[in-house]
Structure 1
Amino acid sequence: MLKFENVSKVYGDGFQAVKSVNFEIQKGEFLVLIGPSGSGKTTTMKMINRMEPHTSGTISIDGKDNNSYNASELRRSIGYVIQQIGLFPHYTIEKNIAIVPQLKGWNSKRIKARVNELLDLVGLDPKIYATRYPKELSGGQQQRVGIARALASNPDIILMDEPFSALDPITRDQLQGELISLHKKLNKTIVFVTHDMDEALKMGDRIAIMKDGKLLQLDTPEKLLHEPAHGFVEEFIGKHRIIQNPELMPVTDIMSETVVTSLPQRSPEKALTLIRQRKITSLIVVDDENKLLGIVSAYDLIKKLDDIQTIDEIMLSDELFLLNSATAKDAIIMMDESPYGMIPVVDAQKKIVGLVTRGSLLSAMSSQWTETEEGK
Structure 2
Amino acid sequence: MLKFENVSKVFNGGFKAVDSVSFDIPEGEFLVLIGPSGSGKSTTMKMINQMVPHTSGTISINGQDIMSLNASELRRNIGYVIQQIGLFPHYTIEKNIATVPELKGWSKEEIRVRVKELMELVGLDPEVFASRYPKELSGGQQQRVGVARALASNPEIILMDEPFGALDPITRDQLQFELISLQRKLKKTIVFVTHDMDEALKLGDRIAIMKDGKLLQLDTPEKLLREPSHGFVEEFIGKHRITQNPELMPVSAVMTEKVITAQIGMSPSKALVMTRQHQITSLIIVNEAGALVGLVSSYKLIKKIDEIHSLEEIMEAPKTVLPLSATAKEAIVLMTTAQLGIIPILDETLRVKGLVTSGTLLSALSSQWTEMEEVNE
Q: By the TM > 0.5 criterion, same fold?
A: yes
| Residue-by-residue CA offset, 1:208-237 (whole Å, 9 max, x unaligned) | 111112221222223322322211111111
Residue 163 in 1 paired to residue 149 in 2? no
**1:363 maps to which residue?**
363
Structure 2 gap ranges (5+): none
**How far is the alpha carbon of 1:90 from its aligned partner?**
2.1
| Residue-by-residue CA offset, 1:288-345 (whole Å, 9 max, x unaligned) | 76845346596x999xx79x95698888763223344433111111123348654344
**How far is the alpha carbon of 1:45 from its aligned partner?**
0.9
**How far is the alpha carbon of 1:349 from its aligned partner?**
5.8
Rate the CA distance shift 1:54–1:350 in 2: closer, same or farther, 3 A.
closer
Rate the CA distance shift 1:66–1:350 in 2: closer, same or farther, 3 A.
closer
Rate the CA distance shift 1:313–1:36 in 2: closer, same or farther, 3 A.
same
**1:46 maps to which residue?**
46
Residue 180 in 1 paired to residue 184 in 2? no
Residue 19 in 1 paired to residue 31 in 2? no
8 Å CA contact 1:93–1:132 kept in 2: the answer is yes
Rate the CA distance shift 1:113–1:238 in 2: closer, same or farther, 3 A.
same
**How far is the alpha carbon of 1:265 from its aligned partner?**
9.2
| 3-state DSSP of counterpart to 2:37 | coil
Residue 191 in 1 paired to residue 191 in 2? yes
8 Å CA contact 2:222–2:250 kept in 1: the answer is no
Instruction: State the percentage of identical aligned residues.
Output: 68
8 Å CA contact 2:208–2:215 kept in 1: the answer is yes
**How far is the alpha carbon of 1:287 from its aligned partner?**
6.9
In structure 2, distance between residues paired with 1:66 and 1:278: 58
Residue 293 in 1 paired to residue 316 in 2? no
Rate the CA distance shift 1:150–1:57 in 2: closer, same or farther, 3 A.
same
Structure 1 gap ranges (5+): none
Which range moves more in the overlay, 47-56 or 92-101? 47-56
| 1:233 counterpart letter in structure 2 | V
In structure 2, distance between residues paired with 1:234 and 1:340: 40
Rate the CA distance shift 1:61–1:283 in 2: closer, same or farther, 3 A.
closer
Rate the CA distance shift 1:54–1:332 in 2: closer, same or farther, 3 A.
same
8 Å CA contact 1:292–1:351 kept in 2: the answer is no
**2:254 maps to which residue?**
254
**How far is the alpha carbon of 1:348 from its aligned partner?**
5.2
**2:373 maps to which residue?**
373
**2:71 maps to which residue?**
71
| 3-state DSSP of counterpart to 1:36 | coil
**How far is the alpha carbon of 1:275 from its aligned partner?**
8.9
| 3-state DSSP of counterpart to 1:119 | helix
In structure 2, distance between residues paired with 1:162 and 1:226: 26
Rate the CA distance shift 1:354–1:52 in 2: closer, same or farther, 3 A.
closer
In structure 1, distance between residues paired with 2:123 and 2:369: 38
Rate the CA distance shift 1:360–1:46 in 2: closer, same or farther, 3 A.
same
Rate the CA distance shift 1:276–1:118 in 2: closer, same or farther, 3 A.
same
Rate the CA distance shift 1:347–1:222 in 2: closer, same or farther, 3 A.
closer
8 Å CA contact 2:287–2:293 kept in 1: the answer is no
| Residue-by-residue CA offset, 1:133-173 (whole Å, 9 max, x unaligned) | 22333322222211110111122221100111222333323
**1:160-239 paired onto structure 2 within 5 Å:** 160-239=160-239
8 Å CA contact 2:102–2:111 kept in 1: the answer is yes
Rate the CA distance shift 1:67–1:342 in 2: closer, same or farther, 3 A.
closer
| Residue-by-residue CA offset, 1:76-113 (whole Å, 9 max, x unaligned) | 22110001111122211110001111122222122112
8 Å CA contact 2:29–2:190 kept in 1: the answer is yes
**2:145 maps to which residue?**
145
Q: How many residues are matched?
A: 368
In structure 1, distance between residues paired with 2:231 and 2:337: 42
In structure 1, distance between residues paired with 2:218 and 2:350: 34
**How far is the alpha carbon of 1:194 from its aligned partner?**
0.6
| 3-state DSSP of counterpart to 1:165 | coil
**2:128 maps to which residue?**
128
8 Å CA contact 1:5–1:23 kept in 2: the answer is yes
Which range moves more in the overlay, 230-239 or 284-293? 284-293
**1:101 maps to which residue?**
101
TM-score, L = length of structure 2 = 0.83
Rate the CA distance shift 1:358–1:39 in 2: closer, same or farther, 3 A.
same
CA RMSD, Structure 1 to Structure 2 (Å):
3.3
